[in-house]
Structure 1
C-alpha cells in the first residue's frame, strides 16, 4: 500500500516544543524519532524512506541499541524530516531558504522607484548558504585558500576568548561549504588544500563539542577530521587529531584509551618526514597526561623529559604547521605542571603552573581560568588555603567570560575540595564571590 501523501514539513508546534528542541540539541535521535512518530504521524518505515536509512537501523535507534553519529547521516535526517539545521547544530539547509530570496530575472529599468520601507523591514536577511553557493561558482585561487586558513585562525582566537558554543554554527557552515567544493573536480593542489582546510574545520568543531563536554558529537567530528587528513596522507595532522581524542579520553576517565590514542598519534608523526620537534614535544606531553591519569609515575616523568628534549631542539627554521604554534614555552611549562598535578605532585606542579599563568595572554580567558583553577587545586593540596581561595576568586572573572563546560568542571572540582574548609574566612569569601557571579546567571556553575 503506498504511503499516504503528507506534507514534508513537521508541525510547527513540534519544532518549537522544548522536548524536541532539547532532543535535537543533544542529537538524541531515539527521542527525535519517537516524537516525530507520535506528534507528526511519521512512522519508522516512513522515517527510513525519507532519511535513506534501513528500517532495521531506525528500529535500533528508537530502542536505544544504536547511535547515529556520522555527519552525513545527521544531514540526511535534517533534510528528510525537514528539521531546521540550527536545531541540530548544522548550517542552514538549502530547503530553508525563503522564497523571497529566489533569484528572478530583472525586469527592464523604467526609471527611479521609491523603496517601501515597511515591506523592506519584513524581508529576511541574506541566506548564508545562498551567498556561499554564489562564491563557489568562481574558480578557486591560492588567495581564497589563504583566506579560509585565516578565518580558521580567527575562529581559534575567538574560541580562546569566548568559547565555541556561539562560534560552532559558523564553523560547521564553513565546513559544509568546503566539503561542497570538494565534490567538484579540482586540480590536485587545490583539492589537497581544501582537504586540509576541511580537516582543520572538522577538528575545530570537534574541539568545541569536547570543550562543551558533549563527547559523542566531538568524537564524530574528530573521526571526520581523521578521514579528511588521511585522504591527503597528512600524518602530522592525523597525529594532532588523535592527540585531541587522547585528551578527551583523559577527561572521560578512560586512561587506557588515552594512552592507545596518543601512541597511535606518535606512530603517525614518526612516519612523516616533515614532523617537527614542536609537534613531537606536544605529543610527548599528551602521553604524560595519559600516564599520569593511570598513576604511572616513572612513565609520566619519562614522557615529560622527552617533551622537554624535543622542545629544546626547536629552531626558527622549522616548518611548523600553523596548528602547532600554540605549543610555546609557557604551554610546555604549564602542561608539565598539570602532568605533575595529575600525579598528585603538588609541590612540583605549583611553581610551574604559577609561572606559566603569569605569562598567559590576558585575552585567552579560557586558558587563564583553566590554569588558575589548576593552580588553586595544587595550592589547596599543599595546605595553602588562603592562596588557593584568592587564586580561585581571580579565576572566576575569566571563567565567566568564556562558555566552557570544561572550565565549569574544574570550578566544580575545586568547590568540592573546599568542603572541609567551608567555615574558614577565605573559603567563605570565595563562596560569596561565587554567589555574586551566580546572580548574573552563569549557566552550569555549582550552586553553593
Structure 2
C-alpha cells in the first residue's frame, strides 16, 4: 500500500484483539509488529518510517533478536502506530486528546452557574485550591511568594517520594498561571508570573524525565525555555538546558548532552548576574557529558573547572533558589559519579562514600542513586561483599520513592551482579530486593 494511503489509525478490531492487548501490556514488540503487519497491512519498512526506526532494527525486533526497552523508543512506536498510551503503560498521548479539550485546557476558568456559585467558590483542603482562590481576587508580591513556596514544597516532596503523584497538581497550577499571564498586569507581577510558570514547566518536565517518559519531558522543558525567554532569564534558561543535557546522558545521546550543556554555559556567561554556584553546576554537567563520551582529559578539565567555580562562592552571592541543592556534598558526589562513568572506580568510591555520609537524609531519591553508584564502583573493584551490603542499604531508600530512574540504576547493578549471582551475599541481596520491591524485582532476569 502506498505510504500516502497508509491508515492514520490502527483498525479498532486490532486494538481490541486480546493478543494485541497482551502483546502491548508486556511490551512484546516482536508480536506487536507482526500483528500490525498481518492485521493492519503496515509492513516493516512502513513501521520503520512511522516510528523513526531503521528497517534493519524493525526486522531484528520481529525476528526476536532485539528488544526495545528505552522509553523514548516506546513513545515513538505509540505515536507512530497510533497505539493508545494506556495499552503500553504510558501517559495519555497528546493525539488522543480531542482538539476541543486541548484548547479548553489553556483557557481561563469559566464562571460557574449562579446556583453553583456558593459551592464552587469554596476552597478545597489543599494549598493549591487556597492559592487559586486568593489569586482570583488579587495578585500581589505576597501571592507570588506563596506560589514560589508551593514550588519549593513540590521539589521537596519530589526528592522524598518521586513526582508521579504530584504531577496532576503541578500541571494544574502551571495551566492556571499561564492563564493569568493573558491578563494585563504591572510588569513586576507579570514578570514574576512568567518566572513561576517557567519553574512549574521545568518541574513538570523533571517528573516526566524521572519517569523516563522522555518525549513528554522534552516538551515541558521546551515550554519552560520559552517562558523564561519572555523575561530574558538567561540563568534559568541555562538551568533548563542543563536538565535537558542530563536527560541526554540517560537516553544514551552523549553528543546531544554535550551540545545542550555547551548552550547552557553560553546562556549563563551572557547573563550579568550568573553566580559561581550556577557555573560550577554547569561545569559538572559538562563533565558528565564528556565522561559518557569517554573523553577522559575533557572530563578531568571540566571537573577542575567545577571545583574552581565552587571555591569562588560567597555567602552574599544572589544564588537563584533552584541551584541551592548544589552544595559541597553534591559537588563531591557528582565528581565521584563522573569518575565512575569513566571507569575510574578507585577514585570514585571514596568520593561517593564521603558525600553519602554528609548529604541530606531526607532526599531519598538522591541517596538511592548515589548508593547504587557506590555499589557499582565497589563491584568494579571486586569488592563483592561490600557492594552487596551497600546496595542492600540503598534498597531502603529506593523502596520509598516512585522513580523509574531509581529502578534503572537498580537494574544496572543487578545486571552487573550476573557473574556472582549464586554467591551467598548476592542471593541475600536478591532476596531483600524481592521483599522490598516485588513489582520491580519480578521481571528481573535470572
TM surpasses 0.5: yes
How far has the Cα of 1:198 moved from its partner?
0.3
**2:80 equivalent among 64, 85, 91:** 64
Give the paired residue count. Answer: 367
2:238–2:267 contact (8 Å) kept in structure 1: yes
Distance in 1 (CA, whole Å) between partners of 2:126 and 2:332 is 45
Q: Which SS does the other structure have where 1:397 is aligned?
A: helix
Instruction: Say if 1:62 and 1:257 are closer, same or farther in 2 by CA, change over 3 A.
Output: closer
Instruction: Say if 1:366 and 1:93 are closer, same or farther in 2 by CA, change over 3 A.
Output: farther
Distance in 2 (CA, whole Å) between partners of 1:324 and 1:127 is 27
Instruction: Say if 1:184 and 1:397 are closer, same or farther in 2 by CA, change over 3 A.
Output: same
Written as runs of structure 1 = structure 2, the 5 A alignment for 1:151-170 is: 151-170=150-169
2:407–2:440 contact (8 Å) kept in structure 1: no
Distance in 2 (CA, whole Å) between partners of 1:419 and 1:321 is 44
Name the structure 1 match of 2:179.
Answer: 180
Name the structure 2 match of 1:54.
Answer: none
Q: Which SS does the other structure have where 2:374 is aligned?
A: helix
- Structure of larger gyration radius: 1
1:92–1:128 contact (8 Å) kept in structure 2: no
Name the structure 2 match of 1:212.
Answer: 211
Report the TM-score, using the length of structure 1 for normalisation.
0.74
Distance in 1 (CA, whole Å) between partners of 2:190 and 2:117 is 36
Distance in 1 (CA, whole Å) between partners of 2:440 and 2:79 is 35
1:79–1:93 contact (8 Å) kept in structure 2: no
Distance in 2 (CA, whole Å) between partners of 1:193 and 1:228 is 11
2:433–2:441 contact (8 Å) kept in structure 1: no
How far has the Cα of 1:243 moved from its partner?
0.2
Q: Which SS does the other structure have where 2:80 is aligned?
A: coil
How far has the Cα of 1:425 moved from its partner?
1.2
Distance in 1 (CA, whole Å) between partners of 2:297 and 2:200 is 37
Query: Once superposed, what is the RMSD of the aligned Cα atoms?
Result: 3.7
Name the structure 1 match of 2:115.
Answer: 104
Report the TM-score, using the length of structure 2 for normalisation.
0.75
Q: Which SS does the other structure have where 1:220 is aligned?
A: helix
Q: State the Cα deviation string for residues 302-356 of structure 1 (Å, max 9, x = none).
A: 0000000000000001000000110000000000000000000001000000000
Q: Which SS does the other structure have where 1:402 is aligned?
A: coil
Q: State the Cα deviation string for residues 368-404 of structure 1 (Å, max 9, x = none).
A: 1000000000000011000000000000011010000
Distance in 1 (CA, whole Å) between partners of 2:136 and 2:144 is 15
Q: Which runs of 5+ in 2 are unaligned?
A: 1-14, 26-76, 84-92
1:252 aligns to 2:270 (yes or no): no
Q: State the Cα deviation string for residues 83-131 of structure 1 (Å, max 9, x = none).
A: 9x9xxxx899969x9xxx7442899xxxxxxxxxxxx9xxxx8999997
1:91–1:169 contact (8 Å) kept in structure 2: no
